[in-house]
Amino acid sequence: MNSGMDSKEYAGQMAGFVEHWLGNPASRAVLKFAAARCPQCGRRIDLALRDFLGLSPKMCIKCKASSSVINRLLSFLIEKNNISRKDAEIAFADPMWRKGLSSVMEGIAEFGPKKPFTAFVPFLVVWNITRACNLSCKHCYESALVKDSDELNTEEALKAVDGLAEAGVAYLAISGGEPLVRKDLFEIIQRIRKNEMAFSIATNGTLLTRENARQLKSLGCLYAQVSLDGAKPLTHNRFRGSEAFERTIEGIKNAVSEGLLVGIAMTVTQHNYKEVPAALDLAEKLGAGLFMHYNFIPAGRGKEIIGLDISPEKREELLAWLAGQIGKRKIPVLSTAPQFSSACKKIGKPCALTHFDVISQDTKFGDSISFLADFVGGCGAGRLYMAMEPNGDFEPCVFMPIKIGNIRKDSLLETWHKNIALNKMRKREEFWGNCGICENRSACGGCRARAYGYFADVQGPDPGCIKNLEYWKRLKGESKEISLVAGVMPKHLP
Ligand code: SF4
Ligand code: SF4
Ligand SMILES: [Zn+2]
């Protein structure tokens, strides 16, 4: 590191440099050229990264020129950030990183260097691969039970995978329903891997046999996310049905013993709020690799138990406690509440950039990447990520039942670039309530699914945040007046 400058200052300076560089119209034009997709050769950024790795990809003369520009810029940034060339090569050898970086650079070229930024193509698609489920949990956002009559069949699902890969998606998070009830699941996963996309799976754990875990591991599953709603059988089973707890624990043990990384996901409501510390202890004891607090969102069957949502005060307390656990625990502690980044910042913990950000909890990186919070931007719906339903419907987030297209007939890229709801979600300055004027607007943005679930408006306030307390009170019938900090009166409030 340069003399007299700590990593935070240095990272800030680098961010300033990149912003300044991108703010210059001439460099933007260079980036547009370099980040284009060539009809002959493919994604130019990806080609340049392969070139960086010495893989000599086939390139036309224009692609060769862009590769040379990108490689010079990369070498400069790597050197200035004291990253060894070997480390950079290891990262770029992973197709997920290459695709991710391509989406970022293409996104900056297309949408500009905004805070937070929007990727050219969703980096991640959460695919609810089936609505069928062997359980019937009370808070299920997908109202899962039986298979939809229009669910994508095997052939259509394989075609969907190819389509998502062609658009440039880096990572598919398979969810449901219960994905493990789909007989063709492993065939679909094989196609995902053939297309060099990363994948993970979200499951209730009850069907995670050793054989299933072994197969997932051998196919390169990044991690299995298992839902656990409490540390006691009674708490979990109250939501998920009798004996679910025991079967889920068994599934977690199977996965851990097969070497599969397990993430414990706990949806917190008034029922299990007090059990969070014990559930985190249990996650560690079981050998899980991470613990994730899931924000309750009133979607699907969750709407029927909306009264169990925790208050903004309780959420604030919970997030502060979770942030305090970072570094004290053996495993990363995460939250899907986008306010988590400011909870971390408040107590000087490395900022969680977005839901699945475990990197910034690594002390090796810590400070040097926390400056990215404003770019990565908390809620990723419509900017970094979107969802796909069992029948191929595109949605901004799995918790937001707004159909924005369908893979059977619509282009993913066109939907991503032109859809009105997505574009509204990207304009945080137009959000109402405190989310529109908040000092954490770039790094957080509020959970758009909660805003939609409560106010039927993707630009509404997230009423789970302490800064939107007046809206929460209004929803609870405890307040007649809306008097927010800056006195912004929403036009749309019923
Ligand atoms: S007001 Fe909105 S943007 Fe600000 S911290 Fe709360 S949820 Fe996030
Ligand atoms: S809307 Fe945003 S914060 Fe809420 S669950 Fe979806 S991605 Fe997460
Ligand atoms: Zn070319």
Whether 50 is in the pocket of ligand 1, judged by its Cβ within 6 Å, is: no
Compute, in angstroms, the gap from residue 287 CA to the centroid of ligand 1. 34
* Sites in the chain below the pLDDT cut of 70: 1-24, 81, 136-145, 240-242, 350-373, 478-494
Atom index in ligand 2 nearest the CA of residue 451 equals 1
Nearest alpha-carbon partner for 95 in 55, 66, 39: 55
Burial 311-325 (b: 16+ CB within 10 A, else e): bbeebbebbeebbeb
d(CA 380, CA 433) in angstroms, rounded, equals 19
Nearest alpha-carbon partner for 202 in 232, 230, 172, 231: 172
Torsion, CA 56, CA 58, CA 60, CA 63, rounded to 10: -50
Nearest alpha-carbon partner for 239 in 93, 135, 379, 315: 135
d(CA 387, CA 401) in angstroms, rounded, equals 10
List, in order, residues 6 or more apart from 31 with CB less than 8 Å away. 22, 105, 108, 109
Is residue 288 packed enough to be buried (19+ CB in 10 Å), middle (13-18) or exposed (0-12)? buried
Atom index in ligand 1 nearest the CA of residue 447 equals 7
Residue nearest to atom 6 of ligand 2 (CA): 397
Alpha carbon 403 to chain centroid, angstroms:
19
Mutational pocket test of ligand 1: of 465, 466, 468, the residue with most ligand atoms within 8 Å of the beta carbon? 465
Radius of gyration over every alpha carbon of the chain, rounded to an integer in angstroms:
22
Atom index in ligand 1 nearest the CA of residue 439 equals 4
Q: Using alpha carbons only, what angle is made at residue 144 by residues 142 and 149, rounded to the nearest 5 degrees?
A: 105
List, in order, residues 6 or more apart from 81 with CB less than 8 Å away. 14, 368
d(CA 445, CA 426) in angstroms, rounded, equals 9
Secondary structure (3-state) at 198: strand
**Residue whose pair of structure tokens reads 């509204």 in the numeric block:** 424
Per-residue confidence (pLDDT) for residue 17, from 0 to 100 = 57
Is residue 362 packed enough to be buried (19+ CB in 10 Å), middle (13-18) or exposed (0-12)? exposed
State the DSSP code for 450.
Answer: H
Whether 467 is in the pocket of ligand 1, judged by its Cβ within 6 Å, is: yes
Q: Which ligand is nearest to the CA of 472?
A: 1
Atom index in ligand 1 nearest the CA of residue 466 equals 6
d(CA 433, CA 455) in angstroms, rounded, equals 11
Residue nearest to atom 7 of ligand 2 (CA): 381
Q: Which ligand is nearest to the CA of 469?
A: 1
- The predicted-structure confidence for 80-105, as pLDDT tens digits, reads as follows 767 788 888 888 899 988 898 888 88
d(CA 462, CA 447) in angstroms, rounded, equals 6
Compute, in angstroms, the gap from residue 46 CA to the centroid of ligand 3. 12
Residue nearest to atom 1 of ligand 1 (CA): 435
List, in order, residues 6 or more apart from 494 with CB less than 8 Å away. none
Can you read off the two tokens belonging to residue 223? 């991690």
Paired sense of beta strands 405-406 and 393-395, if any: antiparallel
| Contact of 415 with 404, CB cutoff 8 Å | yes
d(CA 163, CA 394) in angstroms, rounded, equals 13
Compute, in angstroms, the gap from residue 36 CA to the centroid of ligand 3. 9
How many residues are present in the chain? 494
| Contact of 127 with 388, CB cutoff 8 Å | yes
**H/E element holding 13?**
helix 7-23
| Contact of 58 with 41, CB cutoff 8 Å | yes
d(CA 104, CA 22) in angstroms, rounded, equals 13
Residue nearest to atom 2 of ligand 2 (CA): 379
- The predicted-structure confidence for 212-262, as pLDDT tens digits, reads as follows 999 999 999 999 999 998 898 888 777 766 678 899 999 999 999 999 999
Residue nearest to atom 4 of ligand 2 (CA): 447
**H/E element holding 225?**
strand 224-227
Half-sphere exposure of 317 (CA within 13 A, CB side): 10
Compute, in angstroms, the gap from residue 44 CA to the centroid of ligand 3. 7
Secondary structure (3-state) at 196: coil
Whether 42 is in the pocket of ligand 2, judged by its Cβ within 6 Å, is: no
